[in-house]
Chains A and B, each alone.
Chain A
């Protein structure tokens, strides 16, 4: 291996990494945009969703699910062990937050000490916790 070859390989690896990140984001954003547009249009007009729009949204979501799965698999078979460890920590923190947050909120609501659990709030808190854990690890290892 000649001098500077490692830097070229590292640049190539980085390019591949960001390519996969953008592919994953693109798949999610496209499906989200299609679904959001149809959902928004249905809300605005108050009319039932046409069969065509329903089919388009369903196809977009299925493509996103398979695309997300495929690019995630490519991502985890491409990145190095530190990136995998960062993702594992983020997932673990998210899992723990869910494991504590949902039953606690549900029990409090059963005791009439809190409103009923809202799935979207729990989803957002889990995702934010996992993202924060990932960010902290990246910041420490920068």
Chain B
């Protein structure tokens, strides 16, 4: 699944660890999601959407 997480994170000048801390997941988890190696669960996808104040479908796409 493609996503815009890396771009959104870069826009805020956040490191992967910074984003991980804000989401309550590890830096490795952020990296796995950004590179498409892990599709986040629905609760985590909602947390990501809330953090960036965007709808889920604007962050993740098929």
Which residues of A pack against B, CB within 8 Å?
A: 1, 3-14, 17, 79-83, 85, 138, 140-142
Partner of B24 from A8, A9, A140 at Cβ < 8 Å: A9
Which residue of B is nearest A138, CB measured? B28
Query: Do B28 and A142 touch across chains, with their CB atoms under 8 A apart?
Result: yes
Q: Which residues of B contact A85 (CB under 8 A)?
A: 38
Interface pair A6/B26, CB less than 8 Å apart:
no
Q: Are B17 and A6 in contact (CB under 8 A)?
A: yes
- Interface residues of chain B, those whose CB is within 8 Å of chain A, are 14-15, 17-22, 24-29, 31-32, 37-38, 40-41, 44
Partner pick for A13 among B18, B19, B26, CB 8 A cutoff: B26
In the complex, are the beta carbons of A82 and B24 less than 8 A apart? no
Q: Is the CB of A80 within 8 A of B21?
A: no
CB-CB under 8 A for A80 and B37, given A4-B18, A7-B15, A10-B17: no
A81-B29 contact in complex given A6-B14, A9-B22, A9-B24, C-beta closer than 8 Å: yes
Contact status B18-A81, CB under 8 Å: no
In the complex, how many angstroms separate the beta carbon of B41 from the nearest chain A beta carbon? 5
29 A-B residue pairs with CB within 8 Å: A1-B22, A5-B21, A6-B14, A6-B17, A6-B21, A6-B22, A7-B15, A7-B21, A9-B22, A10-B17, A10-B21, A12-B21, A17-B26, A79-B26, A80-B24, A80-B25, A80-B29, A81-B40, A81-B41, A81-B44, A82-B26, A82-B32, A83-B26, A138-B28, A141-B28, A141-B31, A141-B32, A141-B38, A142-B31
Give chain A residues whose Cβ lies under 8 Å from the Cβ of B19. Answer: 6
